[in-house]
Amino acid sequence: MMQARMAHGGTDMSARSTTDSLEGLLLKKDFTQLNIYIWGMGAKGREFWKRYAYFEEIYKLLPSLQPRIIAVVDSACVEQGAIFFGRQCIHPREIRYRGHEDLFVIAVEHSAGIRRSLLEKGYDAESMIFYEDFLEVMCRNLLSMREQILRHFFPDVGDDCFSVYGKAWDEEMFRWVGLTCRELDNFEYSPQCRDLLKALLLSEFFCTWEHCSPAKKPNLLHMARQQFDMVDLLAGAELYYGMDIRHLADYFERYPVEPAPRKVKVIGIYDKRYRNGGGQKVLSMLMPIYIEQGYRVVFFTEEYCPGEEYALPDEVVRVVLPEECATDRQARWCFLLEHINRNGVQVMCFHNCESGRQFFFDLLWLHFHNIPVLMEMHMNFMSLFESRSGITKFLPHIYKSADCLVVLSRCDEVFWQHLGCRARYIPNPLEKIERAQASEKRTGKRILWIGRLEDGGKRFSDAVDIMELVSQKVPDAMLDVVGCAESEVIEKRLQAYIVSKGLAEKVVLHGYSISVGGFYADADVMLFTSRREGFPLVIAESKQYGLPLVMYELPYLELLRNGQGVIAVPQGRKQAAADALIDLLTDEDLRRRMSVQAKRSLDWLRCYDIGKAWDELFAQIGEPQESDGKAATEFGMVERLLLDGMEDCKQG
């Protein structure tokens, strides 16, 4: 049977459009000849190795194709052990410069420091690649060697058979490939290997489908959906398109899989975790609102951490994805669909999905099963421009494929609508605080900073630098810090930085806490140093406690529209922030006036009916969104942010 139709694809897969940087790497780099180092042992590092395992199954059988990975690099290698996912670990100081023979795959959240250190060692930008881009190039390499791989696994196929496959996808072709995919289940290879072979077979369908006339696309896709298992079909699409899903997304925008009309009563919510994050805390406030509005809620997460998570209403059904779902798409999609059907979920709401190509294929999987999908973006659109990953430029295409994109400012709403997304502005709810009052511990000299300890978006080191300047004028000032770093290594580095500034007695690290009310009650002034935010809860919470706020400018935030209770200074102007704090700490009357303003500034949000806004959204899924007439004003803010961002790029 396999001899009957196996043939070489009619189109060179490697010629599929990719980003210029990936195209260059594909043409210039031979991963089997380079010394490859994977930099990172944290969450991103673990994610890389889990995804790399997908390719490794093929490499075990075809070792000549395997990239030459030398070691894992991380300053935490001593603490975390000498072996990480079966690879030797080395400290950054052990790296010896070997020029273009080396390639560093960066698998960390914030890479500026790593890039800087590599440049100082003599490496250039071509010696560094973000881990998602590296995996993308590996996909392209597999596609370019598809014939070699398939010949290895199907040695009985003759050369004369390589004249039909991929050129004419008629009914016979569909039947043959479908039967071949099903027969692969009987092969004595690992499940990952079988899945990858199926994806290679079906990727040729999308190569042909991509280049056929628009009139033929709907019928071809309909035939594919009838003949192939949906998991295998989407796996082929994912392998073929990789991160560059523009054409696939554009097709589904023109020919959407419209969900059947329904009255939504059961909501599915998806987030990776339920701890240590503003977006997750928002969910802890949104779910009770949904329940009050009469909805049932099913909550999907990828992890479960008892004792560290926010409170979950008893009425919520909690579903935790098994660990295998992180790398096994079939397990992931089937698990999601099983629990969606079991609980009668009528709409899925994805939160904190700014990073993921995976979510696009999740979205297609759900749409093909008649489940509408909403996405909520918890960051401002400008934060996406700061990402080093190639996925960023394709996010508009992902978001356009959703039934609605919920954003947290009118500025974001206008930006995404101008890109063709069905965006809807709904603010986050305000936490109900019974008694937001000052405690007797307020001394007039206590500054509070709350957030994740990192220097990328939150700029914690700026807070330390500002405190150093403040202490020169107000020696008895104290900075209370609530939050933790993503890793112990980062936390130790930041602690050392505090000590180096001579602030060990003036900066108190309290660690992560679910309950932060006591810290607000004890504080006199709030400091906020973030570079980008969507709807920062710490600002809303501090205002409820009447804390004057000193922060870097974020003019698009809805919480700051009236400007009350806030002193905003230009981004990165540490001396200006320190001067504002000094004024507040030394002027009790100013502090008192701004405290009153801070509390009053939230009156508009207290009156906003969040439940009604979500009711209206659920009732209008699939309907076109109309502008409210404020687009011109808000687009002025969009233009300003883009210009500021370009200026940052020049300076960076």
Q: What are phi and psi of 552, to 5 degrees?
A: -75, 145
**Number of separate helices (H) and strands (E) present in the chain:** 26, 19
Q: Give residue 267's pLDDT.
A: 96
Task: Name the band, by pLDDT with cuts 50, 70 and 90, for residue 276.
Answer: confident
Task: Give phi and psi for 310, each to the nearest 5.
Answer: -75, 160
At residue 503, the 3 state secondary structure works out as: coil
Rounded mean pLDDT of 470-495? 89
Query: Mean pLDDT lowest for which of 47-61, 426-440, 635-649?
Result: 635-649
Could you tell me the residue ranges of all domains in the chain?
13-143, 155-254, 266-425, 446-601
Per the DSSP assignment, residues forming a β-bridge with 297 are 267
Give the CA distances from residue 372 to residues 121, 156, 355, 466, in Å, rounded to whole numbers and listed in that order.
Answer: 50, 45, 20, 47
Tokens of 293: 């509005």
321-353 pLDDT, tens digit per residue, is 998 887 777 888 999 999 999 999 999 999 976
Fold of 266-425: Rossmann fold (3.40.50)
| DSSP code for 65 | G
Contact 174, 224 (CB under 8 A): yes
pLDDT over 90 (residue 299): yes
> Cβ–Cβ contacts within 10 Å for residue 412, how many?
27
User: What contacts 596, CB < 8 A, 6 or more positions away?
Assistant: 546
Q: Given this model, what pLDDT does residue 435 score? A: 57
Contact 265, 295 (CB under 8 A): yes
Hey, what are 99's tokens?
Answer: 């020029």
Between vectors from CA 234 to CA 228 and to CA 236, what angle results, nearest 5°?
A: 85
Q: For residue 627, what pLDDT is reported? A: 47
Torsion-angle region of 586 (φ positive above 0: left; ψ -120 to 50: alpha; else: beta):
alpha
Q: What residue type is assigned to position 506 of the chain?
A: K
Q: Is the pLDDT of residue 634 over 70?
A: no
Give dist(CA 519, CA 370) in Å, integer. 46
How, if at all, do strands 347-351 and 266-271 pair? parallel
CATH 3.20.20.210 correct for 13-143: no
pLDDT at residue number 646: 47
**Of 207-211, 479-483, 573-577, minimum mean pLDDT range:** 207-211
Q: Give the span between the Cα atoms of 527 and 451, in whole angstroms.
A: 11
What's the first-to-final CA gap in the chain, in angstroms? Answer: 59
Largest CA distance in the chain: 90
Q: Residue 168: its pLDDT value, please?
A: 66
Banded model confidence at residue 539, pLDDT cuts 50, 70, 90: very high
Q: Give the separation between CA 70 and CA 140, rounded to whole angstroms.
A: 22
Report whether pLDDT(132) > 60: yes
CA 513 to centroid of chain Cα atoms? 23
Q: What DSSP state is assigned to residue 409?
A: S
pLDDT on residue 2: 39
CA 481 to CA 511: how far, in whole Å? 7
Cβ atoms of residues 472 and 441 within 8 Å: no
- Mean per-residue pLDDT for 493-522? 91
User: Residue 279 has which token pair?
Assistant: 């977006």
Average pLDDT over residues 118-122: 88
Average model confidence (pLDDT) across the chain: 82
- Would you state the structure tokens that stand for residue 457, as one six-digit string? 């978006």
Q: How far apart are CA 289 and CA 430, in angstroms?
A: 11
Q: Any idea which of 178-182, 225-229, 577-581 has the lowest mean pLDDT?
A: 178-182
Task: Show the tokens assigned to 162.
Answer: 């390589």
| Fold: same for 266-425 and 446-601 | yes
Gap between the Cα atoms of 131 and 137, Å rounded: 10
Tell me how far apart the alpha carbons of residues 346 and 368 are, in angstroms, rounded to a whole number: 14
**317 and 297 in contact (C-beta within 8 Å)?**
yes
**Least confident interval from 125-134, 468-477, 566-575:** 125-134
Token readout for 316 is 């919520």
**Residue 548 near residue 526 (C-beta atoms within 8 A):** yes
**Contact indicator for 375, 350 with CB cutoff of 8 Å:** yes
Confidence bin at 389 (pLDDT 50/70/90): low
pLDDT of amino acid 221: 86
> Which residues are CB-neighbours of 593 under 8 A, at least 6 positions away?
none
pLDDT for 590 beyond 60? yes
pLDDT of 645 reads: 54
**483 phi-psi bin (left φ>0, alpha ψ -120 to 50, beta other):** left
Confidence at residue 579, expressed as pLDDT on a 0 to 100 scale: 97
Report the range of poorest mean pLDDT among 159-163, 244-248, 455-459, 512-516: 159-163
- Read off the pLDDT of each residue in 621-640 and give the average, rounded to a whole number: 55
Sign (positive/negative) of CA torsion 445, 449, 450, 453? Answer: negative
Tokens standing for 555? 């003019």
pTM exceeds 0.75 for this model: yes
What are φ and ψ of residue 107, in 5° steps? -120, 60
Question: CA–CA separation, 81 vs 88, rounded Å?
Answer: 9
Least confident segment among 439-448, 468-477, 502-511, 600-609: 439-448
Give the pLDDT mean for 40-67: 83
| pLDDT bracket for residue 156 (50, 70, 90) | low
Q: Can you tell me whether residue 470 is helix, strand or coil?
A: helix
Residue 297's pLDDT is what?
Answer: 98
Q: Which CATH architecture has domain 446-601?
A: 3-Layer(aba) Sandwich (3.40)
- Both tokens of 146, joined, read 């598809």
Find the Cα–Cα–Cα–Cα dihedral 338, 341, 345, 351, rounded to 10°.
20
How much is the average pLDDT of 504-508? 93
